[in-house]
Amino acid sequence: MRIAETFSSIQGEGKLAGVPSLFIRASGCNLRCRWCDTPYASWNPEGENCSLERIIGIVSKAPARHVVITGGEPLLMPGVAELCFAIHAMGRHITVETAGTIFELLPADLISLSPKLSNSTPDAESGGPWSHIHEQRRLSIPVLQQFIDTAADLQLKFVIQRPEDVDEVCEVLGKLRNWRAEDVLLMPEGTSAVVLEERSLWLVEQCQALGYRFAPRLHVMLWGNRRGV
């Protein structure tokens, strides 16, 4: 398994924001979001191959009960199910963070789906061939539905840059069944506290109007755009 980094921090996003957690970041992604904040796991994947035993050793030494398997796209990682089973057997809580374009049944306590809106697609100038590839791959309604139908618990976390992105969220949700409004989170895109604050003000109003959750990015507000937090 190619791992870009492991680190202990607090969960910065979603339902479990603020919970002390160990992060295991898979390297490699099948998408190339324009605003990706972990390019070392997507655009320029870094990291070394780690055995299951080595990762389990890191988990066993971590004080946090919560383990977050993130990326990159962890569903691309060979052995991700085996890793989840092993961590689950240790009595830890597992969150798997995925863009929801590839399905696999995993023993996760929380599936954190982050379907990618059109604001994520890079233009041809900056993304080259990835502009087209990303646009084709970024959203799979059947895969999202499989996760919704099988997850023990899930959240649908959308990254919002502009007010009109919220209309696109409603379009996506209109194609899905059996989701709960309390599991829909709208999160401002931004890698600085100033940008997040500006976008949060109008996004909170949209959340109130629609009955969806507002999701801050605590780690950016606390530490800025830093790696390993």
- Which residue, 98 or 200, is less far from ligand SF4 as judged by CB? 98
Helix (H, G, I), strand (E, B) or coil at 210: helix
Q: Which region holds residue 91: left if phi is over 0, alpha if psi is between -120 and 50, else beta?
A: left
Q: Which region holds residue 13: left if phi is over 0, alpha if psi is between -120 and 50, else beta?
A: beta
Tell me the site size for ligand SF4, rule CB under 6 A: 12
Task: Please report where in the chains the tokens 């990159």 appear, as a residue.
Answer: 72
Q: Which of 12, 72, 127, 216 binds ligand SF4 (CB under 6 A)?
A: 72
- Which residue, 76 or 87, is less far from ligand SF4 as judged by CB? 76
| Segment interacting with ligand SF4 (CB under 6 A) among 1-9, 19-27, 38-46, 183-191 | 38-46
Q: Which of 1, 26, 31, 50 binds ligand SF4 (CB under 6 A)?
A: 31
**Is 80 one of the binding residues for ligand SF4 (CB under 6 A)?**
no
Taking the C-alpha atoms of residue 72 and residue 162, their distance in angstroms, rounded to an integer, is: 24
CB of 36 to ligand SF4, least distance (A): 3
Taking the C-alpha atoms of residue 209 and residue 82, their distance in angstroms, rounded to an integer, is: 42
Q: Which region holds residue 105: left if phi is over 0, alpha if psi is between -120 and 50, else beta?
A: beta
**Is 66 one of the binding residues for ligand SF4 (CB under 6 A)?**
no
Q: Which of 6, 21, 27, 38 binds ligand SF4 (CB under 6 A)?
A: 38
| Segment interacting with ligand SF4 (CB under 6 A) among 26-34, 140-148, 188-196, 206-214 | 26-34
Q: Which of 12, 14, 47, 71 binds ligand SF4 (CB under 6 A)?
A: 71
Q: Which of 10, 19, 36, 176 binds ligand SF4 (CB under 6 A)?
A: 36
**Is 32 one of the binding residues for ligand SF4 (CB under 6 A)?**
yes
Sorted by sequence, the CB contacts under 8 Å of residue 191 that are 6+ apart come out as 35, 37, 220, 224, 225
Taking the C-alpha atoms of residue 31 and residue 131, their distance in angstroms, rounded to an integer, is: 9
Taking the C-alpha atoms of residue 215 and residue 91, their distance in angstroms, rounded to an integer, is: 27
Q: Which of 29, 94, 96, 106 binds ligand SF4 (CB under 6 A)?
A: 29
Taking the C-alpha atoms of residue 144 and residue 115, their distance in angstroms, rounded to an integer, is: 8
**Is 165 one of the binding residues for ligand SF4 (CB under 6 A)?**
no
Q: Residue numbers of the site for ligand SF4 (CB under 6 A)?
A: 29, 31-33, 36, 38, 41-42, 71-73, 99
